[in-house]
Amino acid sequence: MTERADGFTLDEIVSRFGGELIGDGNLRISQVATLEKAGPADFSFLANPKYCKQLKTSRAGAVVLSSANAPDCPLPCIVSDNPYAYYARVAQLLNPSWREASGIHPKAVVETILDPSVSVGAGTCVGKDVRIGKASVIGPGCIIGEGVAMGEQARLYGNVTIYPGCLIGARAIIHSGAVIGADGFGIAREADGSWTKIPQIGRVIIGDDVEIGANTTIDRGALDDTMIEDGVKLDNQIQIGHNVRVGANTAMAGCVGVAGSARIGKRCTIGGGAIILGHLTVADDVNISAATLVTKSISQPGSYTGAMPFEAHRDWLRNAAQMRHLDEMAKRIRELETRLAQLEKKS
């Protein structure tokens, strides 16, 4: 998309993304903002009912919301089945990614022939036999090892390291400090207690439209490849162990740890700080709450929560409610035991 300094009218937005427009289609929008902070040229959204009060006092130019909230909206609005996703598309339209000039910086070291449309920043090192797709951007200070292949329109921010032989899909976004393809934690214990390193001879294969957060690490496979399928979104500071497979369109929040050879299904969500032990399988469409410790495989879709151990979210809520009253329950049990002992003496 091409950036336009004067923004877009609501009619133009609806023609691109659909939805039902209620209000003046000629209203021009130049930026996005929250309901609380928005001004007359801003586009906002209502996805959570608890913010309905802000809708009544908002100064936004227009808002996207669900059909249930449309009758009470005092502003021009677009009705959508998924207001938050609609807002995301409008935000992309109004805030296109910065495109660096193509070409290789004089202070970069490139040992392969790249398409003229590729941009390579200062201090970056590109090894032999590397293939980088058209219109890709490699930021400053990156290290791209021998034999790496990367799809079109990929973007690496500064100081990303891609180890040799890894494959990166089209339109991948990899943020600063990420390390792709380092050795997995493969060691064997000897009889004397010392450790012998097991060579990690697999690769990391990353699909199309994947985003990888800052300082996230994805280990190469020990024998088979570590696989990150299309559309996966990984937050900052995530650890993906060797031989892990993450299914398409799964999203993980910050500080998740996935141990080696785990299999994560498609369209899963994993909350921040969750831990998934190695060699487990998680089914498609599973939602794992923040800080949950997954110690056994999950075969059914649904929400799972807890760390002692994890369980179905509904069961965890019931048990957590009971835990608040453990002291009171223990006191009552002691009283009952005392009364029972007294009755036994009388009999």
Q: Which residues are catalytic?
A: 242
Q: Cα separation of 66 and 133, whole Å?
A: 39
Q: Where are the alpha helices (DSSP H) in the chain?
A: 10-17, 52-57, 83-94, 313-323, 326-346
Compute the Cα dihedral for 302, 306, 309, 315 and give only its sign: negative
List phi, psi (to 5°) of 76: -55, 140
Give Dmax (Cα) for the chain.
98
Q: How far apart are CA 229 and CA 204, in angstroms?
A: 11
Tokens 């300094």 label which residue? 5
- The set of residues, in sequence order, having a beta carbon less than 8 Å from that of 238 and lying 6+ positions away, is 213, 216, 217, 252, 254, 255, 256, 257, 258
The rounded distance, in Å, linking the Cα atoms of 117 and 341 is 86
Question: Coil, strand, or helix at residue 53?
Answer: helix
Token couple for 339: 């009364």
